[in-house]
């Protein structure tokens, strides 16, 4: 018999399953179920994935909240573009805007304190990748993503866009300081 020729009987599923083939199907199904329940378990008990809240918003509303936070909590400016560094009090709402090709503002957070981090995009889909912590979230325009974050190590963290957003994508980086 050749693999090029069509089968003699078109209804292949009416033929009995060979014992070895049935064993492999059972192993594959069992492994799929194990992996499915492991993903649920890692999310709930292992805290592997972030749980986020998501709300609809508009660029104007979100930018107004962000600018109010920047005006209230700015401690200095950095970079040639004079990007503000914001140090909000622990437990407060912190806003971070993604837009072509920057994150605004730079955040300075306290180690061991919790914050509610609000993220949105002003224009296109962007990614929020916090390195080296390896936290990844897709930021979608028109939606406000809220994450409860508690930094547990001091240092300087890089925020990188990991969703291709155009010709300046490689320059889309930001910073978070944890003191």
Q: Confirm if 106 and 85 have CB atoms less than 8 A apart.
A: yes
What is the C-alpha end-to-end distance of the chain, expressed in Å? 71
pLDDT at residue number 116: 92
> Which residues are CB-neighbours of 65 under 8 A, at least 6 positions away?
93, 95, 118
Kindly indicate the confidence band of residue 48, based on its pLDDT and cuts at 50, 70 and 90.
Answer: low
Residue 128: φ, ψ to 5° = -115, 105
Q: What percent of the chain has pLDDT over 70?
A: 91
Q: Higher model confidence: residue 64 or residue 168?
A: 64
Domains and CATH numbers, the chain: 1-49 (no CATH), 53-178 (2.60.40.420)
Lowest-confidence region among 1-15, 92-106, 126-140: 1-15
Token couple for 148: 């409860």
- Tokens 């300081």 locate to 177
- Tokens 């407060």 locate to 92
**pTM for this predicted structure:** 0.72
Q: How far is CA 43 from the centre of its chain?
A: 14
34 pLDDT more than 90? yes
pLDDT at residue number 7: 64
């Amino acid at each position: 018999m050749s693999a090029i020729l069509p089968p003699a009987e078109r209804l292949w599923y009416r033929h009995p399953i060979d014992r070895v083939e049935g064993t492999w199907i059972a192993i594959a199904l069992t492994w799929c179920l194990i992996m499915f329940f492991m993903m649920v378990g890692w999310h709930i008990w292992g805290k592997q994935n972030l749980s986020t809240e998501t709300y609809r918003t508009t660029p104007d509303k979100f930018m107004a909240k962000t600018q109010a936070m920047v005006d209230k909590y700015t401690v200095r400016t950095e970079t040639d573009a004079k990007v503000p560094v914001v140090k909000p009090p622990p437990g407060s709402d912190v806003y971070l805007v993604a837009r072509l090709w920057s994150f605004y503002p730079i955040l300075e957070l306290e180690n061991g304190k919790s914050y509610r981090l609000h993220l949105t995009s002003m224009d296109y889909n962007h990614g929020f990748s916090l390195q080296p912590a390896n936290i990844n979230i897709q930021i979608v325009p028109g939606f406000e993503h809220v994450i409860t974050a508690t930094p547990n190590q001091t240092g300087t963290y890089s925020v990188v866009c990991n969703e291709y957003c155009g010709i300046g994508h490689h320059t889309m980086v930001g910073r978070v300081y944890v003191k």
